[in-house]
Structure 1
Amino acid sequence: MIQTQTLTFLKELVDNNDRDWFQANKARYDVARENVIAFTTEIIKGLHNVDPAVNPDLDPKKCVMRIYRDIRFSKNKLPYKNNFGVSFPTQGSKNGGVEYYMHIQPGSKSFIAGGYWMPEAEHLKAIRQEIDYNADDLKKIIDDKEFVKLFGEYRKQEQLKTTPKGYEADNENIDLIKLKSFIAWHPLTDKELTSKGAAEEILRVIAKLYPMNVFLRNALA
């Protein structure tokens, strides 16, 4: 589980996002990061049983993203992220892209997600084609009552304003074909993250994301 002091560190970082404060609190950051790594390790242990395409030998340290922001081309010059991001990549898709992602940010801004965010052009084309050919398979997943309860309306993600080349506006699945990303996410409260059953709850949610990720991986196979 995530320790309360990990969330406290992130809360204080929001109000003190500068290098002097961070260096003075580097030891606290190291403890927080080790907590996230340990939690990631716990999830990885059960993740392969939920989705066999996840390598059970994933290095948890490599799954946890850097807290340092790349500010070279950003107007936002704050040097540190105010969260811990954890990526759980899956095998079986060309050049990756389909994954599970955990976001740890205090104030009930944490979440667990799955899918493919902003696919590159070639992958986007392949996913759209799969939807056009096998939309019923995807709709069976995303229109399931429990899926909607956990993740909301899948079709409400950002869409293209125009119809993609090669498709007609009256295509019965154009709302899915026009999507820019193919993701679903479920919010996690601070209380849920800091409870003893946090890893089990996250794995339960991932199990509901699994069929969607299989559909996307099949599109890229």
Structure 2
Amino acid sequence: MSDRYFTKQTFAFLSALAENNTREWFEEHKQEYEDFVRTPALDFIGDMSDEMPAISRHFLAQPKKVGGSLMRVQRDTRFSRDKTPYKTNIGIQFRHEVGKDVHAPGYYLHIAPDECFLAIGLWRPEADELFRIRRAIVEHPDAWVAARDDKGFREHFTPEGDSLANAPRGFARDHPLVEDLKRKDFIGMAALSEAAVTSKKLRPLVVERFRQAAPYMGFLCKALGLRF
């Protein structure tokens, strides 16, 4: 296992890419991307594959250049006004073994010059999954509150994401947990500093934070009928 993965050069490359987001520039600096972004990211993912069983045996760390835990650097510009071709961050997701895309339950590491953070949970789940989570909250309110407010979890993670303006259809507007039922995302985020990302303590810190999210992730997985 490595002690250190990302460096100041990683952040320098991402900053330069943000200022020169063209295919021509990227091709000229592709070796820097390999050296300072993709290779250390894949090394980190590979080492995390040994750590994931301590978090959950059902979430995968796959160190593959394409189709694994490292998100592709190319942006999907088909439906976006922003036509810049490349992402200017590193995105790493350890998703559930049954998951097929970024909307699956997962653990996430985000590295960018302007913000670094860890995230857990479900981002933009499908309507059926969202309904099942909301139903689990209504049917098991005490278990939900215990998971949501777990001391170890809330010490570092903050609930984030979008919510509906009103109670979702089929759920009481005056339900005591209506603010949770309004959620369209069930994610928690924990900030990271650039110093933490470039330190030797990154991997053990990530493992510790992910383990602290076990009550929240466990509730979501149970609500969806997934193993945790």
- Residues 135-156 of structure 1 deviation map (CA, whole Å, 9 limit, x = unaligned): 211211222333223113x3x6
Could you say which residue in structure 1 is the equivalent of 2:108?
Answer: 101
Distance 2:185 2:224 in 1: 14
Cα distance in 1 for residues equivalent to 2:9 and 2:219: 39
- For the pair 1:45 / 2:50, whether they are aligned, the reply is yes
Q: Cα offset for 1:52?
A: 2.0
Q: Report if the CA contact (8 A) 1:93-1:217 is conserved.
A: no
Where does 1:74-93 land on structure 2 (aligned, <5 Å)?
74-91=80-97
Structure with the higher fraction of residues in helix conformation: 1
Shift >2 Å, 4+ stretches: 91-96, 144-149
Is 1:163 paired with 2:167? Answer: yes
Query: For residues 42-89 of structure 1, what are the alpha-carbon distances to aligned partners after superposition, in whole Å with 9 as ceiling and x for unaligned?
Result: 22211111212224xx42121101101111221001110001111101
Q: Does structure 1 conserve the Cα–Cα contact (< 8 Å) formed by 2:45 and 2:62?
A: no
Question: 1:157, 1:17 → 2: CA distance?
Answer: 28
1:117 aligned partner: 123
Q: Among 141, 150, 172, which residue is 1:144 paired with?
A: 150
C-alpha spacing 1:94/1:191, structure 2 compared with 1 (3 Å): closer
Q: In the alignment, which residue of structure 2 is the partner of 1:216?
A: 220
TM-score, length-scaled by structure 2: 0.89
| Count of paired positions | 216
Q: 1:192 Cα deviation (Å)?
A: 0.1
Residues 103 and 110 of structure 1 are in contact (CA less than 8 Å); yes or no, is this contact kept in structure 2?
A: yes
- Equivalent pair of 2:147/2:219 in contact (CA under 8 Å): no
- Which residue is 1:69 aligned to? 75
Which amino acid letter does the alignment assign opposite residue 107 of structure 2? Y
Q: State the partner residue of 1:23.
A: 27
Q: Higher mean Cα deviation, 91-100 or 156-165? A: 91-100
1:85–1:104 CA contact under 8 A, matched in 2: yes
1:180 corresponds, among 172, 184, 198, to 184
Distance in 2 (alpha carbons) for counterparts of 1:174 and 1:99: 24
2:40 match: 35
Question: Aligned partners of 1:47, 1:125: CA distance in 2, in Å?
Answer: 28
Structure 1 CA distance for aligned equivalents of residues 153 and 59 of structure 2: 21
C-alpha displacement at 1:40, in angstroms?
1.6
Q: Report the CA distance shift for 1:72/1:94 in structure 2 as closer, same or farther (over 3 A).
A: closer
| AA partner of residue 106 (structure 1) | P
Distance 1:34-1:92 versus aligned 2 partners, 3 A rule? closer
Shift of 1:92: 6.3
Matched, 1:202 2:206: yes
TM-score by length of 1: 0.91
- CA separation in 1, counterparts of 2:135 and 2:85? 41
Cα separation, 2, equivalents of 1:21 and 1:119: 36
Tell me by how many angstroms 1:94 deviates: 9.8
| Structure 1 gap ranges (5+) | none
Q: Which has the higher contact order (CA 8 A, sep 6+)?
A: 1
Q: Give identity over the alignment, percent.
A: 32
Q: What letter is aligned with 1:185?
A: M
**2:136 maps to which residue?**
130
